[in-house]
Amino acid sequence: MSYPVAFFEPKPKEPGVREMTKKVIVVGDSGVGKCTCFKHAFVMYEPRKTLKDMGVVVGKETLRISTDTIPKLDMTLSVWDITGKLEPGTGAASLRKGYYGGAAGALVVVAADDAAMAKTAEKWVKEVREGTGNSSIPIVIMITKTNLVSEAELGERVGKMRESELLRGVPSYFTETSGGARVIDEPVKALAEAMSKPSNI
Ligand SMILES: Nc1nc2c(ncn2[C@@H]2O[C@H](COP(=O)(O)OP(=O)(O)OP(=O)(O)O)[C@@H](O)[C@H]2O)c(=O)[nH]1
Ligand SMILES: [Mg+2]
């Protein structure tokens, strides 16, 4: 099966700039705000109806990052936002796993109004590690809907995440989207930097 290929103007290259493309998967329960976080942020590919019907929206973004090893790096992210309606552990699991191939990093999105937020984050981090077959794949957690809970509730839920053995070393960022702000810059940059480490290239 062939899909229509989106066309993007190539940017003129700058001397000394290294370029790389990485696939990033965005996962999390249905309704946590994955599409909301990304809808204004990325140049989305032409809607690929077939893929969309199968629960995936693909977009791209290029960002300039600078690291100790690569001072000028343009990383293009091919972002696969996979609907949480394809629940892990159900018949849709095999379809979902089909989207993980080649992923170099993952954004796990959880909502602060989920009383079991830490457990939910663990479920998805496990799913990403198993599904990609890479137990050390760079992962960043995004926490949405912080405006829907009290400070005490948020503190307790974030605290549980910090105590989790499974989530050790996985950074998390608040990405409340109700104000319409672009909230993905920090988490995406953190993920891109992690993916640019020599051990992950
Ligand atoms: N208050 C608040 N609502 C949010 C936030 N993020 C998303 N929402 C709302 O949550 C609902 C679901 O958001 P989506 O972005 O469609 O969720 P999704 O994760 O893409 O869901 P699936 O595609 O079904 O997996 C929408 O009505 C959003 O307006 C947030 O940070 N705060
Ligand atoms: Mg969605």
Closest CA to 59 of 35, 78, 36, 37: 78
* Contacts of 77 by beta carbon, 8 Å cutoff, 6+ apart: 21, 22, 23, 24, 60, 61, 62, 63, 188, 192
**Number of neighbouring beta carbons within 10 Å of residue 164:** 15
Quote the pLDDT of residue 132: 94
The amino acid at residue 18 is R
Tokens of 136: 């050390």
| Mean pLDDT of successive 10-residue stretches along the chain, which has 201 residues | 54 81 94 87 61 75 83 90 75 76 96 98 96 96 97 98 97 90 90 87 66
Residue 73's H or E segment, with its range, is strand 73-82
Nearest-CA residue for atom 2 of ligand 1: 145
Where do the domains of the chain lie? 18-200
Quote the pLDDT of residue 1: 47
Residues across the chain = 201
Beta bridge partner(s), residue 25 = 80, 106
Distance from residue 195's CA to the centre of ligand 1 (Å) = 26
Nearest-CA residue for atom 11 of ligand 1: 31
Instruction: Please tell me the number of the ligand nearest to residue 37's CA.
Output: 1
Question: Taking the domain 18-200, which CATH number applies?
Answer: 3.40.50.300
Instruction: Please tell me the number of the ligand nearest to residue 29's CA.
Output: 1
